Amino acid sequence: KAGVTQTPRYLIKTRGQQVTLSCSPISGHRSVSWYQQTPGQGLQFLFEYFSETQRNKGNFPGRFSGRQFSNSRSEMNVSTLELGDSALYLCASSLTGTERAYEQYFGPGTRLTVT
Amino acid sequence: GNSVTQMEGPVTLSEEAFLTINCTYTATGYPSLFWYVQYPGEGLQLLLKATKADDKGSNKGFEATYRKETTSFHLEKGSVQVSDSAVYFCALSSKTSYDKVIFGPGTSLSVIP
């Protein structure tokens, strides 16, 4: 079974631009979560989607948004990029997200650099 | 709210040394506990998990026991290898955190030959 895939793997953008990252979960997984990883802040939860609905949201500004499609693929968008948005963005999928042992499978991440 | 605390390191060990990475948590109810590992340039991989008190999770020679009385889930390995060099994250999930996984800050481990 194929793992979680994320595209692109690397991205360089300029301040003020916007960016869209894509995540394809493991086949059959319906929950997709997004995380931002930086050396200073560690792993921070952005949001989670389940059945095309945002179910959980972290403490990020409205510039960060996401969506999920009917095939469970998910995209996240960051508008008006800031230098501080430079990070590794990780996507994780799980079966439903409601089972008690909330076992997540992570993709390799998208490395975003904002200049 | 729920939280996870772990030693941040970096930890440097010689090959075949004994490894312990401490992890403690704060949570209401009965969370599930996890250890994830991140190798350089990769995403996180689930290493092991435990879903109730006194459960022992184990994988690839790593072990961790869910201790509710001390709210701990320390990671141990009897003999580390160079290939174990990575960042290790302790994490929890519970109904009271709306099923989100909450991660600790990560512990960087370097194993030298």
- Give the count of Cβ contacts less than 8 A between chain A and B: 56
Are residues B103 and A109, on separate chains, in Cβ contact within 8 Å?
no
Find the CB nearest B106 among A42, A55, A102: A42
Are residues B46 and A92, on separate chains, in Cβ contact within 8 Å?
no
Q: Give me the pLDDT at residue B96, please.
A: 59
Q: Give me the pLDDT at residue A73, please.
A: 97
Angstrom CA distances, B63 to A58, A74, B55, stand at: 31, 34, 10
Are residues A33 and B44, on separate chains, in Cβ contact within 8 Å?
no
pLDDT tens, residue by residue, A11-67: 999 999 999 999 999 999 999 999 999 988 888 989 999 989 998 888 899 999 999
Residues B104, A44: Cα–Cα separation, whole Å: 10
Q: Give me the pLDDT at residue B99, please.
A: 57
User: Which residue of chain A is at minimal alpha-carbon distance from B35?
Assistant: A103
Residues A6, A23: Cα–Cα separation, whole Å: 5
Q: Give me the pLDDT at residue A40, please.
A: 84
Are residues B34 and A98, on separate chains, in Cβ contact within 8 Å?
no
Residues B84, B62: Cα–Cα separation, whole Å: 10
Strand partners, A22: A7, A75
**B8 DSSP assignment:** -
The tokens of A3 are what? 């793992």
Are residues A101 and B99, on separate chains, in Cβ contact within 8 Å?
no
Exposure string of A17-53, with b = 16+ CB inside 10 Å and e = fewer, is eebebebbbbeebbbbbbbbbeeeebbebbbbbbeee
A91 band by pLDDT with thresholds 50, 70 and 90: very high
Q: Give me the pLDDT at residue A104, please.
A: 85
Q: Give me the pLDDT at residue A83, please.
A: 97
Q: Which residues of A touch B49 (CB under 8 A)?
A: 101, 103
Mean pLDDT value across chain B: 91
B41 band by pLDDT with thresholds 50, 70 and 90: confident
